[in-house]
């Protein structure tokens, strides 16, 4: 077509080139990461993680929002993960050191630890940084138990589920002890709660279900699990102390789960009690009590004398009324496993908190990878019960295996259907474990050799699943750049011969927590030379493993200056080379020492002493105030005025903190 028709200037080659240049510039700008955009994305991500979706939203809808996967994504870059995997487990899946995950999170504005469990939003963010797309791996047949439309008129009021949280030794179990009028804490090793207890307490205004979570820092995963099933949190803080690390963790768990809090300021009967200071500390962590203009209810109590406990319960029930807690008791039961163990007489037993429906003897169920049929149910007083209504904790017998704490429990109409789902889930679990226990590649092996990393292998057995999980997390947290703790296997029940053989084959140490080896296991351990360590308190187990790891550290090398000598003359000896005529000014010059040549304050050479003589005699050492001849191996450039420093290298045992 003709150009220059009067409608404007004709396009030229120069104009086209300018347009291409502008497009390239725009593309480069798009590629350039703008710091403000990154910070805004981090802020949005944190907001999204803090403001969890309501518990009753359909999981499928949440999946579509959380994990959109484009059709054109390379399957090799898709990483299938379960929600709430730990940093260490994610590092294994990404084939990178756990320290790199922690460093990446710090760059993204997230503070995490190696044993911390991550939600799916955080996992997605980390995977994107390493060039992967995270896809949530749902349980097989999970859609069978999704919420369906129910008749609201069939719903009845249910008791609130209240979790007692706080720092170790601030009085959580003592508060429940007062409410139940029993002595729970006397039975706990070391005076700390080793696993979650679920209790129903009758009050004048109705029943309340309490969950007692351990306060020791090792039990973070268990405390987080308690926050996921609870309606309310009682945050216990000692009036003679302050807001401690586990108190802050409890606040974070409650906020992340969107659960309202009621603060109980305990030990108010002590002379050193300062409740006002505690409230000020809480305000600094975003917990504003009503006295300070906030909406958090609080009560000053003494779990020892009972002072103020009734007022605390009143405020808990008042908060529960505002939540309007209801459930349909006529539907098939669903719940959550609070704790699980292998009982010698009864087999696999789990504490199940029923959240919806009514659980009855004879019901077929699926729970995690295990199925079963309810053979019997007992309450917390070991009395047999026939039914369990919503918000009721019961110990259930009839599992095909020991479930994991936190597994979902759901009743099905047919036992055959439950067994079929269980078999498929077990197969999928084996495939997942096979993917994780991949054979190490040559590159990874070379990287580990180059880094000089040693490995302490452990096999853990315990009485209940939650405590084993918490102990494993605590031990893996000890891993560092040089020594890594690898928990090869964890399980519930007594130490068996097969555990010993696994330890022997993998050169691992067997740790028993509240369990003991049977006779055949002891014989096998003696025969195979396997070290079995038994503990009842988690502090002792962690400290013993820390000492074992210290022995795997490379010793620290320290230089010790033995003596110095000043070069006053230089002689050239045939067949020997240059020999420095020296005067020893300080210490002693040993024949076996290393030597450093220093000229004008700068080191010019470091090596070994080749010869040491006084007059014509070879000597082992020369002390200060004497002259000698020193020959330096492979160095022929000694000059008058140089200083020779004789030194030795000593090896010192290191600790994990050094």
pTM over 0.75: no
Q: What is the DSSP letter of 289?
A: B
DSSP letters for 255-276: HHTT--EEEEEE-TTSTT--HH
Q: What is the CATH number of the domain that holds 344?
A: 2.40.30.10
Report pLDDT for 163.
87
Which residue in this structure is represented by tokens 């809808």?
61
Q: What is the mean pLDDT of the chain?
A: 80
For the chain, the maximum distance between any two Cα atoms, rounded to a whole number of angstroms, is 111
Domain's final residue, options 136, 169, 198: 136
DSSP letters for 387-431: EE-TTEEEEEEEESS-PPTT-EEEEES-HHHHHHHHHHHHHHHHH
93, 89, 83, 88: which is closest to 137 by C-alpha? Answer: 83
Q: Are residues 359 and 268 in the same domain?
A: no
Highest average pLDDT, of 31-45, 276-290, 478-492, 503-517, comes from: 276-290
Q: Are residues 429 and 453 in the same domain?
A: no
Q: Are residues 213 and 101 in the same domain?
A: no
Q: How many domains does the chain have?
A: 5
Q: Which residues contact 494 (CB under 8 A, 6 or more apart)?
A: 342, 344, 461, 515, 516, 517, 518, 521
Dihedral (CA of 595, 600, 603, 605) sign = negative
Report pLDDT for 3.
43
| pLDDT tier, 64 (very low <50, low <70, confident <90, very high otherwise) | very low
Domain's final residue, options 327, 357, 390: 327
Q: Are residues 281 and 343 in the same domain?
A: no
Domain presence at residue 300: yes
Q: Report d(CA 402, CA 191) in Å as an integer.
A: 27
Q: Are residues 196 and 302 in the same domain?
A: yes
Q: Are residues 541 and 561 in the same domain?
A: no
Report pLDDT for 66.
38
Q: Look at 281 and 222; give whichever has higher pLDDT.
A: 281
Domain's final residue, options 327, 349, 377: 327
- pLDDT tens for each residue of 87-139: 888 888 888 888 889 888 888 888 887 777 787 888 888 998 898 888 876 66
> Are 493 and 524 contacting, i.e. CB atoms less than 8 angstroms apart?
no
Q: Which domain holds residue 643?
A: 556-652
């Amino acid at each position: 077509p003709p150009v220059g028709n009067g409608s404007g200037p004709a396009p030229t080659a120069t104009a086209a080139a300018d347009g291409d240049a502008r497009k390239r510039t725009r593309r480069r700008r798009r590629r350039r990461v703008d710091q403000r955009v990154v910070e805004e994305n981090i802020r949005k991500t944190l907001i999204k993680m803090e403001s969890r979706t309501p518990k009753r939203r359909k999981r499928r809808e949440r999946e579509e929002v959380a994990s959109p996967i484009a059709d054109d994504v390379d399957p090799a870059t898709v990483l299938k993960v379960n929600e709430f995997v730990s940093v260490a487990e994610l590092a294994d899946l990404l084939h990178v050191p756990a320290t790199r995950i922690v460093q990446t999170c710090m760059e993204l504005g997230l503070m995490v630890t190696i044993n911390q469990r991550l939600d799916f939003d955080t996992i997605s963010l980390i995977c994107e940084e390493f060039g992967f797309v995270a896809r949530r791996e749902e349980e097989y047949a999970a859609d069978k138990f999704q919420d369906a439309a129910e008749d609201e008129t069939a719903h009845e009021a249910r008791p609130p589920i209240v979790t007692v949280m706080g720092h170790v030794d601030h009085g959580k179990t003592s508060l429940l002890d007062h409410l139940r009028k029993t002595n729970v804490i006397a039975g706990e090793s070391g005076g700390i709660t080793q696993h979650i207890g679920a209790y129903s307490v009758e009050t004048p205004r109705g029943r309340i279900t309490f969950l007692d979570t351990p306060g020791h820092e090792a039990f973070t995963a268990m405390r987080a699990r308690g926050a996921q099933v609870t309606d309310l949190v009682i945050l216990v803080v000692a009036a003679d102390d302050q807001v401690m690390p586990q108190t802050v963790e409890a606040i974070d768990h409650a906020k992340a789960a969107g659960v309202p809090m009621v603060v109980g300021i305990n030990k108010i009967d002590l002379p050193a009690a300062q409740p006002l200071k505690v409230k000020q500390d809480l305000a600094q962590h975003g917990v504003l009590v009503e006295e300070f203009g906030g909406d958090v209810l609080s009560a000053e109590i003494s779990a020892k004398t009972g002072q103020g406990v009734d007022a605390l319960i009143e405020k808990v029930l008042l908060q529960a009324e505002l939540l309007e807690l209801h459930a349909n008791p006529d539907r098939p039961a669903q719940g959550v496993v609070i704790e699980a163990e292998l009982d010698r007489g009864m087999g696999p037993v789990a504490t199940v908190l029923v959240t919806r429906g009514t659980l009855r003897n004879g019901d077929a169920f699926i729970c995690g990878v295990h199925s079963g049929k309810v053979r019997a149910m007992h309450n917390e007083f070991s009395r047999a019960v026939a039914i369990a209504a919503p918000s009721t904790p019961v110990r259930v017998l009839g599992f095909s295996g020991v479930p994991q704490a936190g597994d979902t429990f759901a009743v099905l109409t047919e036992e055959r259907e439950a067994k079929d789902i269980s078999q498929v889930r077990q197969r999928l679990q084996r495939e997942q474990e096979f993917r994780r226990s991949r054979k190490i590649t040559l590159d990874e092996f070379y990287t580990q050799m180059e880094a000089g990393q040693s490995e302490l292998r452990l096999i853990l057995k315990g009485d209940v699943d939650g405590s084993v999980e918490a102990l494993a997390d605590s031990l893996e947290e000890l891993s560092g750049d040089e020594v890594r703790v690898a928990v090869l296997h964890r399980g519930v029940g007594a130490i068996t011969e097969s555990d010993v053989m696994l330890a022997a084959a993998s050169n691992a140490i067997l740790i028993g927590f509240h369990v003991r080896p049977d006779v055949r296991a002891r014989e096998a351990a003696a025969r195979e030379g396997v070290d079995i360590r038994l503990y009842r308190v988690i502090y002792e187990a962690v400290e013993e493993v820390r000492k074992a790891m210290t022995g795997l550290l490379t010793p620290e090398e320290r230089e010790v200056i033995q003596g110095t000598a000043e070069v006053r003359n230089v002689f050239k000896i045939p067949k020997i080379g240059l020999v420095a005529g020296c005067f020893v000014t300080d210490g002693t010059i040993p024949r076996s020492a290393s030597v450093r040549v220093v000229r004008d304050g700068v080191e010019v050479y470091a090596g070994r002493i080749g010869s040491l003589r006084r007059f014509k005699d070879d000597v082992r050492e020369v002390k200060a105030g004497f002259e000698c001849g020193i020959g330096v191996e492979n160095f022929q450039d000694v000059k008058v005025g140089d200083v020779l420093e004789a030194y030795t290298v000593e090896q010192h045992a290191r600790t994990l903190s050094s």
